[in-house]
């Protein structure tokens, strides 16, 4: 049964795709001379939206071999995993990426999409805790 499902997914991924819909767009880059974003918005499959200030971006890298962009915002590591991520990387360099979103399904990974974002993860710093610090006596 699993083989049949895998075959169907492969056939759909290889099939011709109609013109790009808004659902198949994985990022937005500002156009126009001098336009810059103040925040990078991350849109998750479950509907959660998180923003990081570009002012807090310490370093970032793109490894096309692993299909990952890593960005560090004040100790928080944001990892964008997918393929065709170079436009996102270049857009981040100019603070022009407004948002990046995760795919809603594997069906969006097809040859009609030059870019595909499989997953976005946020890893907090090791000493990060959501609990309030105990009051000092």
Q: Which one, of 64, 108, 58, 114, lies nearest residue 89 by Cα?
A: 64
37/126 Cα distance (integer angstroms): 28
Per-residue model confidence (pLDDT) at position 14: 62
Q: Note the pTM of the prediction, 2 decimals.
A: 0.75
Per-domain boundaries in the chain: 37-123
pLDDT of 115 > 60? The answer is yes
pLDDT of 71 > 70? The answer is yes
Helices (H), the chain: 2-14, 86-93
Residue pLDDT, tens place only, 19-57: 444 556 889 999 877 789 999 999 999 999 999 999 999
Question: What strand order describes the sheet that includes 97-101?
Answer: 27-29, 97-101, 39-43, 49-53
pLDDT of 127 > 70? The answer is yes
């Amino acid at each position: 049964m699993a083989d049949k499902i895998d075959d169907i997914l492969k056939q759909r991924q290889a099939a011709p795709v109609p013109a790009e819909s808004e659902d198949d767009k994985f990022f937005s880059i500002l156009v126009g001379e001098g336009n810059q974003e103040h925040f990078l918005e991350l849109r998750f499959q479950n509907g959660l939206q998180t923003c990081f200030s570009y002012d807090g971006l310490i370093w970032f890298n793109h490894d096309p071999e692993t299909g990952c962009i890593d960005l560090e915002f004040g100790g928080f590591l944001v990892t964008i995993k997918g393929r065709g991520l170079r436009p996102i990387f270049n857009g981040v360099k100019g603070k022009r990426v407004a948002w990046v979103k995760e795919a809603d399904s594997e069906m969006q990974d097809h040859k009609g999409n030059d870019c595909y974002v499989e997953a976005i993860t946020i890893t907090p710093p090791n000493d990060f805790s959501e609990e309030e610090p105990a009051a000092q006596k």
